[in-house]
Chains A and B, each alone.
Chain A
C-alpha cells in the first residue's frame, strides 16, 4: 500500500515526486493500453470510416466497462457528429470521439467545496473492499495539507480491526480519531460531530462499514446513521460520498442507485484507477445517473487521490 514500506521501491521514493498530471497518466497507462492504443492501432490501419470500424470501436468501449447502453450512446453521438461535420478522415474520427466522451462526462466534473459549514461533515459509504477507509486516510492528508483541521469518526464498528486501521491513518496525519467502545456506528459519528463542533474542527470524515445493497438490514442501518448525523447537526451530512471500486463492472450502476436511494449520494470517489482497463464505468455512470465524481484514486501514495477533471481524464485516455 505504501511505497515507502517496499524495499524494492525505496530507491524510487527518493527521486523527485512526479507531477499530478504525470501520475494520472501513469495510472491511466493501462486504460490507455486497453482503449487508446487499440484505438490508435485501429485508426492507423484504416483509411475510411466504415461499419467495421464502428464495430471495432464498440468492442473497445465495451471492454473498457463503458457498458452496452453508454457505448450505444457514444457511438450514436459519434455517428451524428461524423454526419454533421461531414468527416471522412479516420484521423478526424479520433478527435470527434474525444469530444463526444468529454461531452458525456462533463456533468460529472464538480469539485467538492468543503466550506460554509463548521464542521463540514463528510459521510462515506460503499460496498466491502471499495476503499472507504483508505480514501479517508487520503482525504485527511489532503485537507491537512490545505491547512484545515480534521477529525475522523470510526463508524465501521463491524469489520475486524477497521477501527485500528482508521487509528493508524489518524496517527499518520496527526488527526484525532473518535471511536466508541460500543457497536453503534451512529453514536460514534454523533459523538465525533459534537466534539468537532466544540473544538472548532473544520472537516469531519465519517467512516462506515462496507455493505452490499442487497443486505437490506445494513442499508436500513446506514439510513439511520444519516438520520442521526442530522440530529447532531441539522444541516449535516454536507457531503455523502459513495466510494466505488473501478474494478467493478456494470454493478457500479446498481450500487450508485441503491446507495443514492438510501442516502442521497452527493458525490462519488472512484478508487483503484491505477490498474488496467478502467475508467469506462464513468461513462456508464454519466449516462445513467450523473452524480459528480469528486475524486479519483490513481495510486497508492497519500497524495494519489485527486479531483476528477474531464479534460485531463479524456486527454490522458487518448495520449
Chain B
C-alpha cells in the first residue's frame, strides 16, 4: 500500500468515485451491449434467431429466459467487486484524518 490519503482531500474522493464509476460503467456497458444486440440480431440474422429449440425460438429463449440469469449474475459480480473496493478504500485513508480520531483519543469520550 502506498501513501495514505487524507479522508477529506481531493485525491481520495477522486479515486473513490473513479474506481466505483468505472466498475459500474463496465457492468452497465456489458449489459447494454447484450440487450442492444438482440434487436439487431433479430433484424439481421432472422434465420438463426427464428430457429426452434424445444418449441421456443432462439430469440424467445434469449429474451424470455436467458437474460434473467445474466442479470442476476452481473448484479452478484458487481456487489462483490464494489464491496471489495470499499474494503480496499477503507485501508487507503490516513487514520489521523478520520472524524472520530481526535475524539477517540480524548479520555472523557471513552466509555467506561
Q: Do A and B come from one complex?
A: no
